[in-house]
Structure 1
């Protein structure tokens, strides 16, 4: 019993220390990285007729933390975080925002810094939004996600990580995008642009954090569905854009994280995706925490068991070779 108590105390102390460090890191006034990779060599696919103006808005965080969001993305990019001591692996992060915006700080830059400290080359994806007039409509974000994976894979040799050691982490609606890439990595959603498009868009590991998954009434996050599919989606669209209903045999190992008290995206989304993955015998792991609400990222998790999620995701990725 003494050994078990000591182990539990050590684990609890470690999680609290990690959470406090994460919160402190979130509040630190750090400069943005200057290395940015455009996804497309020219205009993105289907740009004709798109008239929206890309804008960065400053949102108010109750603790005064920086909280920017990009709306009407015209130039999708990968913002690069290079680790000081590379571990040979990479992560693409897909922040949330209900498919109305891309929340770059809370779920993008902060998580990228945490991962870069642990040796991962990180790429934060600012993706296009489906209601901005792109020809591909609901597949415009997936075009960007597929292209991002192929472009990062093409950079592997030059940047010192393995082309077969690339994970994705998606949050909320970005979790839906990550789940879509997890299940539709082979879908022909755009025409070849260059040699990078000859590479696979399949992630090596996927992490879905409080993800939007189902487009079905009940578990659906209504705002994300409205932005993605409009007010009256067809039955065929609901099936196609619910990743749990299209898990392929070659889906990558996937870890899911959710809080049971999430009042925005019901935890049923994670339960449904986990069940669908297991039905196809895909290696999958799920963590449902009692408390955390929605959109916690690395913020406001000190003192909660939810604080374990980054370490759990890292351990799962390492177990599966990333």
Structure 2
């Protein structure tokens, strides 16, 4: 397997061992919150009222997508955009996004935690809304930072995988000068991600929300990350437990094989035990979220 220290620099080989020791807790307050769109997001529609955040940090009814920016005391000049999971039905900020931001800032990284629109909440643009938000968010981060990597958990891993492999694809019409910035990253870390939506891996919430039970093989292939990997895809870092009963462990193998076939640097860490969430404190398993990927 072609390996390279790329996403978080030295120490990536033990990343998940450190993550397992974290506990979801009251997060460090973000330094800044930035809404992604000037007014109504592309296509309009969507839920009404205000964004809904539970006491456990589970976000839904995402009316206004945004980035929360967490700054370290001693910046190392690198940034990571983080997308938590939740099956595209909710976003587990408290169980994944905020603890990851704390971990990153303690090591000098500026963390940008993404609150993206949920395709299941009635947006006119349908299943592309989270992709639009991720691409716009990456451009905003790139307007501020010179070195940007992506990191996603579960369905957020699918979203960051799709974002990393978009290339020159445009998911929305340009709104302002920020949209002239290339939506590219230096690398992507995908943590227990549902990579493929193709058969026989069609039972996840990610599949149900994005393409539905009656999806064609062509639509399933379109939304499968491994089919979008090209020679220009940035290096990938993959993590999963072999006893994961929610996201089939073959997902990371499928992504690693696609990267190797196209000459993309990939580093994969698979653990014999850990299940869904790899022992991540307060994550989706603790929220009763099994199956919501």
Secondary structure, in 3 states, of the residue corresponding to 2:184?
A: coil
Report SS of the residue matched to 1:142: helix
Larger Rg: 1
TM-score by length of 2: 0.86
Q: How far apart are residue 52 of structure 1 and its match?
A: 4.5
Give how far 1:72 is off: 2.3
8 Å Cα contact 1:186-1:202 kept in structure 2: no
**Structure 2 unaligned blocks of 5 or more:** 1-10, 284-293
Offset of residue 246 of structure 1: 1.8
Q: State whether structure 2 residue 72 is matched by structure 1 residue 76.
A: no
Paired residue for 1:168?
A: 150
Structure 2 residue aligned with 1:102: 91
Question: Could you say which residue in structure 2 is the equivalent of 1:42?
Answer: 39
Relative distance call for 1:185 and 1:138 in structure 2 (3 A) is: farther
8 Å CA contact 2:36, 2:65 repeated in 1: yes
Structure 1 Cα separation of the partners of residues 98 and 27 of structure 2: 10
Pairing partner for 2:274 from 292, 305, 309: 292
Change (3 A) 1:17 1:135: closer
**1:106 CA displacement:** 1.5
Equivalence for 1:142: 131
1:282 aligns with 2:271: no
Question: Given that residues 69 and 101 in structure 1 are in contact (C-alpha distance below 8 angstroms), is that contact kept between their aligned partners in structure 2?
Answer: yes
Q: 1:106–1:297: 8 Å Cα contact kept in structure 2?
A: no
- Count residues in correspondence: 270
**Conserved 8 A contact 1:111-1:298:** no
Shift of 1:84: 0.3
Q: Secondary structure at the residue paired with 1:184? A: coil
Q: Any conservation in 2 of the 1:180–1:243 contact (CA below 8 Å)?
A: yes
RCO comparison, higher one (Cα < 8 Å, 6+): 2
More helix by share: 1
The 5 A counterparts of 1:48-87 are 49-53=45-49, 54-58=51-55, 67-87=56-76
Instruction: Check the 8 A contact 1:257/1:288 in 2, yes or no.
Output: yes
Q: 2:109 aligns to what? A: 120
Moved more, 227-236 or 251-260: 227-236
Structure 1-normalised TM-score?
A: 0.78
Determine the C-alpha separation between the residues in 1 that align with 2:250 and 2:216: 22
Distance 1:297 1:117, change over 3 A: farther
In the aligned structure 1, how far is the partner of 2:282 from the partner of 2:71?
26
User: Is 2:248 aligned against 1:230?
Assistant: no
Where in structure 1 are there 5+ consecutive unaligned residues? 1-10, 59-66, 157-162, 302-322
